[in-house]
Each structure stands twice: as structure tokens, then as C-alpha cells.
Amino acid sequence: MPIRVLFALQTAVMRWIGDFDLTHQIEGSYLQYTDNILGKATPVTDIQDIFKKANVAVITGGASGIGFAAAKFFARLGMSVAIADLGRDRLAAARAELEAIAGVDQIMVVETDVAHKEQLEALERAVLQHFGRVHVLMNNAGIGPETSIFSPQAGWDNILGVNLMGVINGTRVFGPGMLAHGKPGLIINTGSKQGITTPPGNPAYNVSKAGVKVFTEALQHELRNTPGAKIAAHLLIPGFVFTGLTKGDRQEKPAGAWTPEQTVDFMVESIKRGDFYILCPDNDVQRPTDERRMLWAAGDIIENRPPLSRWHPDYADKFKAFLEKKD
């Protein structure tokens, strides 16, 4: 099937789905519907029932970057916040800033290596003992050391342990309790555009983030088909964000990058709209470009092109023309 036909088909399908609007926002309400588009829409919750004073948020990778920006956002709403990360000095500095926002009683920090399930289980016990229950879980911890297919095993183990198994085990540890208490809540998993377009350069990272996408899709499908469930899942897909993971040797934010705070603001607005895929732009790349890159990646299979053809010299001009095409 030619890529132009695929794109037209996708556009038509998305417009058709839009007529039934499986999720949307009405006067601030966050509505989620069953898979049966012919059935009656049933609201699960109002977003204000989740992001509110006295509710509890747990954020892994919460001492810096997007995780810390989310922690500050939730703290300003009066929520109780627990952050998990590595590095006592970083955690202490984050605690001080969060306590200045929300007060000592509303903040807890727990040094946690999310690659180890037993440490996540200890984190859950500590949070429940201190706060009683969890309403928002943000599996955000991530690392990105460079790898290649045949690079040392330790690099692969570390990335998959933190980026993928940290998300899977974080969800499996906290999720049952979140479902059991019966209150509205969210599980937000941080993915990456690299988990969708899988550019060459760091295969372990790409594999980990592709796994997060697949896992979170399956999670949301299971949640929406669980009777009485008031928990929804979302996949956060950041753009270029200036964080400790991306800055390298740079001391100043590049013009093309977003701040972690911009990313969190976009995340919250997307959740209010009911978006599952929170596809963030940045100052260089807007959504239409991301969509075409992702569509081209999917087209490799349909068109029987070489894998990662976007970076194949024989397809460079074709990809450029596809990216610049005006529909």
C-alpha cells in the first residue's frame, strides 16, 4: 500500500473516530468511555477529584527533571507527594524545596532503585504507612547511557532494569492497592519518541521505551475493561526537554528544548482532555512533524522497506519529500 494511501486511510479513520469521541472534556470533566462506541458514555471521574488537596502522588525519578517539576506541581495543589530517586544529596535538596511549597507533613522522600522490585515494594509500604493510599503514580525514573547491539551487558541490564522493569514493577506493586481503595486515580508512565521511531544510536534505550509504550497500552486496555476500576493510565511522550538526562555538558538550555515545567503543564492539560498518548512538542518540533516521522516508521513494514529506512541513504530524499509534503 503506498504511503500516501496509508496516510489518507489513517486520517479518515481518525476523523471517523472523532465523530464518536471516545474521550473528551466537558466543563473540566475527565470522561472515559467503554470500548463499545455504540454504548452509553459513562464518566469515570472529574480530574479535580484526582489533582486535589489531601490526595497522594508518588513519583519515581522525582528529584530532578520532569519528575521534580511534577512533584512541585502536585505540591502546589496541596497534594501529599512522595518522591523516589537515587542520591541522598539530590533527595535532600528536593525535599527542602517541596517542603517550602507544601509543608513538612505533606512531603516524603525515599531513596529507591526502581530496578529492584523489593525496593519498590518497600517504597509502597512506606508511602501507605505515612499517607494511607496513593491516587497518582508517575513511573518516571529513567537513564540513558549509550549502548550498541554488542556493547557490555551491564549497560543493557541497567537501562532495561530502570526504564522498563521500573515501570512494569512500579505499576504492578502500586496498581492493585490503587484499584482496591476505589477512589479515582492515574498511572502516568514516561515513554519516549525514541520508543516509537527507534532511531539508531542507543538500541537498549529504544527497546526500553518501546516496551513502556506497549506495556502502558495494555495497562489502559485492562483498566478500562475492569468493572468498577477508577484508575486510568497515560503514556507521557516528552519532546526535547532540558534535564540531567539530556543536557550533557551544556549548562544552558538550548533554544529548541522545553523546560520540565512546560512538559508537566502540557501533560496536565492533555490529561484533562482525556488524551492517552501525551505527545509533547518542543521549541523545534511540532506535532505534525512527529506524526509524519511516526507514520514513516510504521510504513517501513507496510511498504516492505529496510528497517529504519529514514536513516538509510537510499531513502533520504524520499523521507525528506514525505516530511515536507503538504496534504
The number of folded domains in the chain is 2
Same domain, 164 and 264: yes
Is residue 36 a part of any domain in this protein?
no
> Residue 270 corresponds to which amino acid?
S
Note the pLDDT of residue 248: 65
Q: How confident is the model at residue 45 (pLDDT cuts 50, 70, 90)?
A: low
Report the predicted TM-score, pTM, of the whole model to 2 decimal places.
Answer: 0.86
Domain CATH number, residue 77: 3.40.50.720
Note the pLDDT of residue 7: 44
**β-pair type (185-190, 136-139):** parallel
Same domain, 207 and 297: no
Integer Cα distance of 264 and 260 in angstroms: 6
Note the pLDDT of residue 220: 98
Domain that holds residue 160: 46-284
Is residue 138 a part of any domain in this protein?
yes
Note the pLDDT of residue 254: 79
Same domain, 66 and 78: yes
| Helix/strand/coil percent split, the chain, to 5 | 50, 15, 35
Residue with cell 459513562: 42
Note the pLDDT of residue 310: 98
Active-site positions read 205
Same domain, 191 and 324: no
Q: How confident is the model at residue 244 (pLDDT cuts 50, 70, 90)?
A: confident
Is residue 234 a part of any domain in this protein?
yes
For residue 26, pLDDT over 70 is answered with no
Same domain, 85 and 169: yes
Same domain, 158 and 307: no
Same domain, 249 and 320: no
Enter the DSSP assignment of 49.
G
- Reading the block at residue 292, the C-alpha cell is 509524519
For residue 197, pLDDT over 90 is answered with yes
Q: How confident is the model at residue 326 (pLDDT cuts 50, 70, 90)?
A: confident
Is residue 6 a part of any domain in this protein?
no
Span 4-10, mean pLDDT? 46
Same domain, 68 and 91: yes
Note the pLDDT of residue 28: 38
Span 59-71, mean pLDDT? 98
Span 263-286, mean pLDDT? 96
Find the range with the poorest average confidence among 7-21, 180-194, 218-232, 268-282: 7-21
